[in-house]
Amino acid sequence: MQYLPNILFAIALIAGISFFVMNIRKLYRNINLGKKIDRTDNQPERWKNMIKIALGQSKMVKRPFSGFLHIVVYVGFIIINIEVLEIIIDGLFGTHRIFLGFLGDAFYGFLIGTFEILAFLVFVAVIIFWTRRNVANIKRFLSSEMKGWPKADGNMILYFEMVLMTLFIVMNATDTSFQQAGIGNPISQFVAPLFDGFTAETLHLIERAAWWIHILGILVFLNYLYYSKHLHILLAFPNTFFANLNPKGQFTNLEYVTNEVKLMMDPDADPYAAPVEGAEEEVPEKFGASDVLDLNKVQLLNAYTCTECGRCTSSCPANLTGKKLSPRKIMMDTRDRLEEVGRNIDANGGAFKEDGKQLLNDYITPEELWACTSCNACVEECPVNIDPLSIIMDMRRYLVMEESAAPQELNSMMTNIENNGAPWPYNQQDRLNWANEE
Amino acid sequence: MNVPTMADMMAQGKQPEVLFWVGAAGSYDDRAKKISRAFVKILHKANVDFAVLGTEESSTGDAAKRAGNEFLFQMQAMMNIEVLNGYEVKKIVTCDPHSFNTLKNEYPNLGGKYEVLHHTQFIQNLISEGRLNINDTTLQGKKVTFHDPCYLGRANEVYESPRDLIRRLGVNLTEMKRNKSTALCCGAGGAQMFKDAEKGDKEINILRTEDALETKPDIIATGCPYCNTMMTDGIKFKEKEAEVVVKDIAELIAEANNL
């Protein structure tokens, strides 16, 4: 029975990690439902972007206040996790503060002291974040797509962090020998007096409870990621790596359209030629995107990476002027639909069963898509290089090329381009008249 | 005014140093035609050997592409590329950031590879090569704010060329609160120019005009014929036509030099 805590700990650890890995495999499978896209060129630039933007948070600080607070939480999160390593070793082997022996009083004290200060700063930052989300009336946290689960999700993450930081400090404050040693307790020494008058047994009980809830909380939080918007702490890295490196104004040229246009313009092409053997069975390529499976893998990765901060939406000219379009909602809808498709595949033995729904109309309406000015403000703003515009464009392509469902005025514009080479109904022969006017 | 065409040039066995891509707005829109003429005056002043395609020019397909019609875009692109390659064009300058972006970024992989410059970049080069001087002080002391066209700024990260030219005019350049990479769109891009806006509580060009008016400018400078239209409409809506004018940088330079 002596090893019961060690065994329970090992079971919790293995269960927590296995469940997480299982979900991550599902996430990986879902992203791979997307179309292939080659984003492996120019590796040095890609690594540089990842280091600068994801690791270095360079785009976060463009909004200095929230950017600074985010760096506090981010740095705290990463550094305090070194402590989790000690907790895991202690838990598995029944030791207590095993690193103390290895590292010596001074260095161990410095390390834990740093963690405590960071934990305190994270706690304060998280309180400010909570206030911004719930009290401060910041427009981007109040949009219609942020009602219900997204709002609860955002708050839940903050509560998790508050509780974990508190437990860490309480665990240290109630560790009598640690407090007596007086090393590495710059914050917990002020919390310890709250427990004055408790018996040694009670203190030990509280310390153990805080220790256990802390590590179990971390495992639960790890598994919460997959269900929440918080995946960005992992996916920001691949997302910035695979982001578009071309000028933002450069939209893709659809290759299958190029082939058809070339054929049409080829004077030697035989319009009556019999189709190549086997060509009848080929399903013609679908133009644009009406569902998540028509999007590419990077677009689907974008959807999972989005943490719904809303910087895109708060800079979108259409959204700022009261239109329905919100680039953040485009990303949230894409993820919601992708998860729905994923669950469908799981429920139907590995193959997607037609469910009569798609991303277009059931999630994203044409009204939203047509409100976009393609100005790239959303792409520029995203702290992790998500590209909502590419999804909007792919869906417009579907609307126009598959459904002929452009707004009437755009149809006139396109007819004019076809007939007289300009978006307006002017005669191409008058194209140089401007030179002789005035 | 003398605007030679590539066909004329070819007939004379000449190859101009640069092709001026006028674009649909610069060819047909009354306001934008003035920009085309101002730019040609600058080209003449700097003795630039240029030509236009004239009636052989056709829509780049930018608006069609952004409206979702990839077919029409590529048809236009391939037709234009055939003409451009036929004339062995190497270098293109345009006053339209949309043409600039499409020709520069979207034509190469369809077979159209050219050096493409926005007119503000081209004029900047003329000055640094000593071919053009901005020496007049007509506009000295005027308060100017610059509206970044999305397809010049964010899309291609050209922020400094237009500002450098404005500063050379001796004017007082004041930035709007949203500028350069955070500039707000005028509302015309993505084919919005050709349709009514979706239901909302404001027009985008009004919001952007308000940004500009906050700087209390005498002149709102732009580098895009579509932005020009949107900002001009915004100024009219705000009934500020008497105090504020919207001008392309080419027009400001032509005026400053009394061209």
* Residue-wise DSSP of B50-75: EEB-GGG----SHHHHHTT-HHHHHH
* Token pair belonging to A411: 């149809």
**Main-chain dihedrals φ then ψ at residue A73, nearest 5 degrees:** -65, -40
Query: Which residue is listed with tokens 């992989």?
Result: B109
CB proximity B83 to A under 8 Å: no
Q: Is the pLDDT of residue A81 over 90?
A: no
- Burial (CB < 10 A; 0-12, 13-18, 19+), residue A44, is exposed
ipTM over 0.90: yes
User: Mean pLDDT over all residues of chain A?
Assistant: 94
Query: Which residue is listed with tokens 């550094």?
Result: A79
**Main-chain dihedrals φ then ψ at residue A426, nearest 5 degrees:** -105, 155
Residue A283 binned pLDDT confidence (cut-offs 50, 70, 90): low
DSSP code at position A61 = G
Rounded to an integer, the average pLDDT of A209-232 is: 96
Residues whose CB falls within 8 Å of the CB of residue B187, separated by 6 or more in sequence, listed in order: A317, A373, B197, B203, B204, B205, B208, B230
Q: What percent of chain A has pLDDT over 70?
A: 96
For residue B175, how far is the Cα from the chain centroid? 19
Residue A358 binned pLDDT confidence (cut-offs 50, 70, 90): very high
Residue A305 binned pLDDT confidence (cut-offs 50, 70, 90): very high
Size of interface A-B (CB pairs under 8 A): 225
Kind of pairing, strands B143-146 and B219-222?
parallel
Q: Is the pLDDT of residue A280 over 60?
A: no
Q: Which residues of A touch B204 (CB under 8 A)?
A: 317-318, 320-321, 373
Nearest CB to B27 within list A261, A393, A434: A434
Q: Is the pLDDT of residue A284 over 70?
A: no
Nearest CB to B54 within list A248, A321, A431: A431
Distance CA A396, CA A404 (A): 10
Residue A279 pLDDT = 56
Contact B208 A317 (CB under 8 A): yes
With vertex at residue B168, the alpha carbon angle to CA B167 and CA B172, rounded to the nearest 5 degrees, is 35
Q: Is the pLDDT of residue A270 over 80?
A: no
Of the candidates A13, A24, A20, which has an alpha carbon nearest to the alpha carbon of residue A84? A13
Long-range (24+ apart) CB contacts under 8 A made by B167-170 are: B168/B127, B168/B134, B169/B134, B169/B139, B169/B140, B169/B144, B169/B252, B169/B253, B169/B256, B170/B137, B170/B139, B170/B140, B170/B141
Rounded to an integer, the average pLDDT of A349-357 is: 94
Distance CA A158, CA A166 (A): 12
Residue A2 pLDDT = 81
The continuous run of DSSP H or E covering B220 comes out as: strand B219-222
Distance CA B150, CA A372 (A): 13
For residue A78, how far is the Cα from the chain centroid? 18
For residue A424, how far is the Cα from the chain centroid? 42
Q: Is the pLDDT of residue A91 over 90?
A: yes
Q: Tell me the C-alpha to C-alpha distance, in Å, between residue B163 and each of A5, A82, A145, B175.
A: 69, 49, 39, 10
Q: Which residues of B touch A320 (CB under 8 A)?
A: 184, 204, 207
Q: Is the pLDDT of residue A94 over 60?
A: yes
For residue B31, how far is the Cα from the chain centroid? 12
Residue pair A231/A225 in contact (Cβ under 8 Å)? The answer is yes
Residue B120 pLDDT = 98
Which residue on chain B is closest to A322 by alpha carbon?
B200
Contact B154 A376 (CB under 8 A): yes
CB proximity B182 to A under 8 Å: yes
Q: Is the pLDDT of residue A63 over 90?
A: yes
DSSP code at position B207 = H
Distance CA A425, CA A414 (A): 10
Q: Is the pLDDT of residue A281 over 80?
A: no
Q: Is the pLDDT of residue A276 over 70?
A: no
Residue pair A116/A186 in contact (Cβ under 8 Å)? The answer is yes
State the nearest Cα–Cα gap between B26 and chain A, in angstroms.
8
CATH of A255-269+284-424, one of 1.10.4160, 1.10.3470, 1.10.1060, 3.40.50: 1.10.1060
Nearest CB to B154 within list A377, A426, A435: A377
Distance CA A192, CA A1 (A): 32
CB proximity B113 to A under 8 Å: no
Of the candidates B172, B169, B181, which has an alpha carbon nearest to the alpha carbon of residue B249? B169
Distance CA A139, CA B30 (A): 40
Rounded to an integer, the average pLDDT of A312-335 is: 98
DSSP H stretches of helix in A135-199? 149-173, 176-181, 188-191
State the nearest Cα–Cα gap between B193 and chain A, in angstroms.
9
Q: Which residues of B touch A314 (CB under 8 A)?
A: none
Distance CA B94, CA A326 (A): 33
Domains in chain B with CATH codes: 6-127 (3.40.50), 133-256 (3.40.50)
Which residue on chain A is closest to B181 by alpha carbon?
A380
Q: Which residues of A touch B103 (CB under 8 A)?
A: none
Contact A398 B68 (CB under 8 A): yes
SS3 B188: coil
For residue B29, how far is the Cα from the chain centroid? 13
- Burial (CB < 10 A; 0-12, 13-18, 19+), residue A3, is exposed
Q: Which of A249-263, A322-336, B232-246 has the lowest mean pLDDT?
A: A249-263
Nearest CB to B195 within list A399, A410, A426: A410
Q: Is the pLDDT of residue A127 over 70?
A: yes
Of the candidates B98, B92, B81, B89, which has an alpha carbon nearest to the alpha carbon of residue B115? B92
Q: Is the pLDDT of residue A269 over 80?
A: no
Residue A263 pLDDT = 87
CB proximity B71 to A under 8 Å: yes
Q: Which of A21-35, A269-283, A348-362, B130-144 has the lowest mean pLDDT?
A: A269-283
Query: Which residue is listed with tokens 């005056």?
Result: B41
Enumerate the domain spans of chain A.
Answer: 4-31+63-241, 255-269+284-424
DSSP H stretches of helix in A225-271? 232-241, 255-265
Give the pLDDT means over successive 10-residue stretches in chain B (259 positions).
96 96 97 97 97 97 97 97 97 98 98 98 97 84 96 98 94 97 97 96 98 98 98 98 97 88
Query: Which residue is listed with tokens 């030179």?
Result: A435
For residue A234, how far is the Cα from the chain centroid? 8
Residue B202 pLDDT = 97
Neighbours of A172 (CB within 10 A): 27
* Token pair belonging to B37: 């003429």
Q: What percent of chain A has pLDDT over 90?
A: 87
DSSP H stretches of helix in B94-174? 97-101, 119-128, 160-168
Q: Is the pLDDT of residue A277 over 80?
A: no
Neighbours of B7 (CB within 10 A): 15
Distance CA A208, CA A174 (A): 9
